[in-house]
Structure 1
Amino acid sequence: MSLDSLRELTGAPWLTSGGKGWLCGIPEVSQERDSAPFRRELQMIVRKYDDIDWHTGGDFPADLDASHARTHIALFLEWAIRRGHESDTLRSLHPDALHSIRQGKLSGKDLLAQCCDDKLTSDDLSETGNGFAQAYYEASCLEDYLDLSDDDLPTLYHEPYDQKKTRDICEKLDARFHQWSKQLDHE
């Protein structure tokens, strides 16, 4: 299935194929704009990487409840928290929930629903986490999720949220994060 077909099917505006364009409703900023006042202004913008509402309308499977639209978002958020890429704000507002995530007593799906209003935004991630999320969501997120999905399931929303899926996604994210970090080191 092509990326354009998936955009149309999911109605997910965050799906981009790279280059200059729109990501989560916020225009990408050219690298020529790197003045300090402009950077401060950008820091006040909350970037929305994903939102359960982007997935639950239209062709969302009638046989599933809306929590299934949370799976892929929660897997990314859980990885970020387990690797220490959550924001200071999330740490200060929800320390017990973050501890429970790290202890395996709370799922990323529960955290996303209870603490993040079913959205993954720049407010949830550290500076490093945001740098990676911005690059990853635009370039590889959907492709990786497709690669790790069970082709026998009717839709991506039928994917399980279990230990195996979490482990597989975390391994893929670790590899992507390592690649991204090395690329930064060479710039």
Structure 2
Amino acid sequence: MKYDDASWHYGGDFPGELQPEAGATHIAMFVAWAVLNGLAGNYHTEGAPEDLALLQSREITPTLWFIHACDEKFTTEDLSREGNSFATSYYGSGEGLHSSAGSYLDDYCKAFPSAESLYHVDDSWASFDALSPRITSRLEAWRKRLG
């Protein structure tokens, strides 16, 4: 299943002044966070350990890693079983912005209140670090609900 795809974002109403990569940043931040927090699927841990090492060492930004390692697509193969359960609950169920995308997009926008849109967030480790505690808190609350 595909949760999201950058190509769904950089067409249509996408801000003309931005590079297409900006359509992937919000997706990349979530996938990178999940991978770095023990929710990676075998695709990343066994199939692309070199790419994972670049992300872990912060030698590459989340969006550049996502574009290269995931071909701009966030799918179930990116995450473990637990990661997919969490992503379905929090990120959304595969309809991109057209679904009830859980709380992730709300949390993302709240983490960057001065950004003109979700596409105007910098692809940087500073942005990642600003967002990460919100996602971590959501994961902890989700795990508690499961018992």
TM-score using structure 1 length: 0.70
AA partner of residue 52 (structure 1)? A
Query: Match for residue 116 of structure 1?
Result: 70
Contact 2:61 2:125 in 1 (8 A): no
Query: Match for residue 6 of structure 2?
Result: 52
Aligned residues: 138
Query: Match for residue 180 of structure 1?
Result: 142
Task: Kindly indicate whether structure 1 or structure 2 has the higher relative contact order, using CA contacts under 8 Å at least 6 residues apart.
Answer: 2
> Shift of residue 81 of structure 1?
1.3
- Unaligned runs of 5+ residues in structure 1 are 1-46
Contact 2:32 2:66 in 1 (8 A): no
Query: Match for residue 150 of structure 1?
Result: 113
Query: Match for residue 131 of structure 2?
Result: 169
Runs of 4+ in 1 over 6 A off after TM superposition: none
- Alpha-carbon distance in structure 1 between the residues aligned to 2:20 and 2:32: 19
- Unaligned runs of 5+ residues in structure 2 are 93-101
CA RMSD of aligned residues (A): 1.2
Greater radius of gyration (CA): 1
- Alpha-carbon distance in structure 2 between the residues aligned to 1:164 and 1:116: 22
AA partner of residue 96 (structure 1)? E
Q: Find out whether 1:91 has 2:33 as its counterpart.
A: no
Identity of aligned residues (%): 33
AA partner of residue 141 (structure 2)? Q
Contact 1:90 1:124 in 2 (8 A): yes
- Alpha-carbon distance in structure 2 between the residues aligned to 1:104 and 1:61: 28
> Shift of residue 76 of structure 1?
0.6
- Alpha-carbon distance in structure 2 between the residues aligned to 1:111 and 1:91: 14
Query: Match for residue 98 of structure 2?
Result: none
Query: Match for residue 129 of structure 1?
Result: 83
Q: Find out whether 1:68 has 2:22 as its counterpart.
A: yes
Contact 2:62 2:125 in 1 (8 A): no
> Shift of residue 95 of structure 1?
0.3
